[in-house]
């Protein structure tokens, strides 16, 4: 049955991807409403060959809407998700606004699809780095019970939006041209030819010394996996890559599991593509993941410093599985 769908943040990096995926997966849309800020009102966006006019988001935007996909930041979600619910829409929210609320399911369809049914009008889409990690961890956890995870991320700038991609490209061009007058707007330091151990780019640090992105990985992993006993520690890092987050992940398990058992498990795990052929220098890359749906996993090795540990390298398109695709998979399950 076709339904009326609204996309909030339709002009953003994730919004653009929402539209590409809705179109390619032939999501059953009766009417489509594209919403953004006042700045974009009137702008035309093509969807399935038809020009749609972007409208300014307001509290009445959701009349007749069945599914609202939100990706316009936390403050917009906090303000407008309640109006959408009041109008009878179910919201899939890509922001962090409601993720840790007890009555809001936080869902990765390959991991905890059963939680979708518990929603009360809003389902939260997890943080991009967390999504790709749990898709790969769940099959291991089911077999060997994961006790502890140590993760370091190498995150693409598109996670910070289209303006961040623009800043990386312009700064790179400026440095290559030998200029020294580039004016940064977003990142606290040069991101071109550099690596920043801070995500997000502003108000990142919490009193415990971790960044909010790092604590999202800790807390969201437990909630999605439905297991508060998993210990997680994270270091999240921005790298000058446009698209595709990479992660070095170390897991310690309760039960011994060998590297070849992990490879076998992941080779048939939903949403995972195993790319692990060191003899031929084959391993997951950000460039390999860009525009793809899968979570790519490789470099699987036993951690020789402990009895029961595994190291691996997990890569996925942060805008696709890390955001838009995961949200649309949730919406498909809702239908």
Residues found near ligand A2P in the complex (CB under 6 A): 9-13, 15, 36-37, 39-40, 57, 72-73, 76, 161-163
120 DSSP assignment? S
Residue number, nearest CB to ligand A2P:
12
From the list 91, 119, 128, 141, the catalytic residue is 128
For residue 33, give both structure tokens: 């409403």
Beta-strand pair 44-47/50-53: antiparallel
24, 63, 65, 89 from 33: Cα distances, Å: 18, 11, 9, 13
Q: Tell me how crowded residue 255 is: count the other CB atoms within 10 A of its CB.
A: 10
Residue 75 Cβ vs ligand A2P, minimum distance, rounded to whole Å: 7
245 flagged as catalytic: yes
CB-nearer residue toward ligand A2P: 69 or 192: 69
Residue 38 Cβ vs ligand A2P, minimum distance, rounded to whole Å: 7
Calculate helix-pair angle for 212-225, 128-144, nearest 10 degrees.
40
CB-nearer residue toward ligand A2P: 94 or 132: 94
Residue 335 Cβ vs ligand A2P, minimum distance, rounded to whole Å: 24
Closest by Cα among 208, 213, 181 to 196: 213
> Under 8 Å CB-to-CB from 127, ≥6 apart: which residues?
96, 99, 213, 216, 217, 220
Residue 79 Cβ vs ligand A2P, minimum distance, rounded to whole Å: 8
CB-nearer residue toward ligand A2P: 55 or 235: 55
Beta-strand pair 245-253/309-316: antiparallel
From the list 91, 119, 141, 245, the catalytic residue is 245
Residue 240 Cβ vs ligand A2P, minimum distance, rounded to whole Å: 18
60 flagged as catalytic: no
Question: For 235, phi and psi rounded to 5 degrees?
Answer: -125, 120
Closest by Cα among 275, 287, 267 to 313: 275
Residue 7 Cβ vs ligand A2P, minimum distance, rounded to whole Å: 9
CB-nearer residue toward ligand A2P: 80 or 283: 80
CB-nearer residue toward ligand A2P: 53 or 260: 53
CB-nearer residue toward ligand A2P: 77 or 311: 77
Q: Is 276 left (phi over 0), alpha (psi -120 to 50) or beta?
A: beta
User: Are 282 and 294 a contacting pair, CB within 8 Å?
Assistant: no
The residues assigned a catalytic role are 128, 245
């Amino acid at each position: 049955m076709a339904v009326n769908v609204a996309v909030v943040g339709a002009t953003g990096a994730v919004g653009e991807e929402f539209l590409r995926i809705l179109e390619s997966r032939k999501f059953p849309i009766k009417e489509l409403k594209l919403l953004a800020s006042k700045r974009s009102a009137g702008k035309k966006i093509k969807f399935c060959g038809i020009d749609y006019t972007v409208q300014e988001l307001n509290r009445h935007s959701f009349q007749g809407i069945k599914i609202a996909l939100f990706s316009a930041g936390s403050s917009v979600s906090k303000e407008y998700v309640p109006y959408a619910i009041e109008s009878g829409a179910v919201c899939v929210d890509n922001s962090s606004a409601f993720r840790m609320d007890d009555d809001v399911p936080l869902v990765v369809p390959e991991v905890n699809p059963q939680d979708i049914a518990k929603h009360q009008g809003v389902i939260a889409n997890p943080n991009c780095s967390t999504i790709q990690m749990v898709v790969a961890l769940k099959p291991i956890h089911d077999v060997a019970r994961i006790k502890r995870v140590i993760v370091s991320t190498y995150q693409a700038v598109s996670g910070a939006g289209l303006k961040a991609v623009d800043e990386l490209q312009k700064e790179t061009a400026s440095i290559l041209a030998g200029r020294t007058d580039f004016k940064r707007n977003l990142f606290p330091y040069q991101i071109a030819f550099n690596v920043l151990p801070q995500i997000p780019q502003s108000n990142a640090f919490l009193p415990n010394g971790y960044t909010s992105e790092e604590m999202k990985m800790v807390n969201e992993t437990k909630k999605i996996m439905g297991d508060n006993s998993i210990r997680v520690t994270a270091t999240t890092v921005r790298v000058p890559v446009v698209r595709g987050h990479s992660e070095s992940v170390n897991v310690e398990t309760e039960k011994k599991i060998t590297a070849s058992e992990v490879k076998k498990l992941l080779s048939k795990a939903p949403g995972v593509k195993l790319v692990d052929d060191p003899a031929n220098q084959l391993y997951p890359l950000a460039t390999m993941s860009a525009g793809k749906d899968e979570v790519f996993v490789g470099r699987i090795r036993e951690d020789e410093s402990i009895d029961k540990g595994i190291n691996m390298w997990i890569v996925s398109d942060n805008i696709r599985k890390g955001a838009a695709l995961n949200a649309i998979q949730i919406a498909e399950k809702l239908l």
